[in-house]
Copies of this chain bind each other. A is one copy, B any other.
């Protein structure tokens, strides 16, 4: 069995890759260089892919800045120091328009070209912080569309879309990854790192810290010897 895995270099996608490897998939990891400010995550994705033994790691470049509209690619300030009550509710300014749809579409192209059986991604509806394209009903609709879009689907071999983290809390995700031997020191989460050092203040750093605290584990990423 062969799977295409969306790999960002963060906790969720790294855990997803570890699960797919545990489940016996030959893994084609795909990462995206889309003009994001946190390009450090591509380096993290490379380390995670190498560490977990993928068949291939493709990095697809495209320029999301041509499209516009998010703090992650434009010059809008990344919000910092928000507590959890401030993170919920509204769609945040860090929302990249249709990002998961673009990523899944490119993963779909790769899955079709390379005859993969599944696409596996780390979306999560529990820590859902206002991104509409992180919900299971979204993924179901994408899968239905994909079956109609592709040669394999039309010929009766629809791709599976697997989201093994969709119902897990960040705590549960981290516990699962640790039980699989995953080195979270290879991963990165910060929206706005400086010289490899997480800022500790953005939503993503805060969610990560709360997850490690709840799991009763130290975050190896906070070890200064692992910054670069």
Contacts and interface: CB of A to CB of B under 8 A. Distances in A.
A36 B60 CA distance: 15
Contact of A141 (B100, B137, B141): B141
A141 to B, nearest CB: 4
B101 A108 contact: yes
Interface residues of A, number: 46
Task: Give the one of A63, A105, A108, A110 with max B CB within 10 A.
Answer: A105
Contacts of A102: 102, 105-106, 108-109
Given A99-B109, A132-B151, A132-B153, A114 B63 contact: no
A126 to B, nearest CB: 18
Interface in A96-133: 96-102, 104-106, 108-110, 112-114, 132-133
Given A101-B108, A105-B101, A69 B113 contact: yes
A5 to B, nearest CB: 15
A145 B148 contact: no
26 contacts: A58-B67, A60-B67, A62-B62, A64-B109, A67-B110, A68-B110, A69-B112, A70-B113, A97-B109, A97-B150, A97-B151, A98-B108, A98-B112, A101-B105, A101-B108, A101-B145, A101-B149, A102-B106, A102-B108, A105-B106, A132-B148, A132-B149, A135-B148, A137-B148, A138-B148, A138-B149
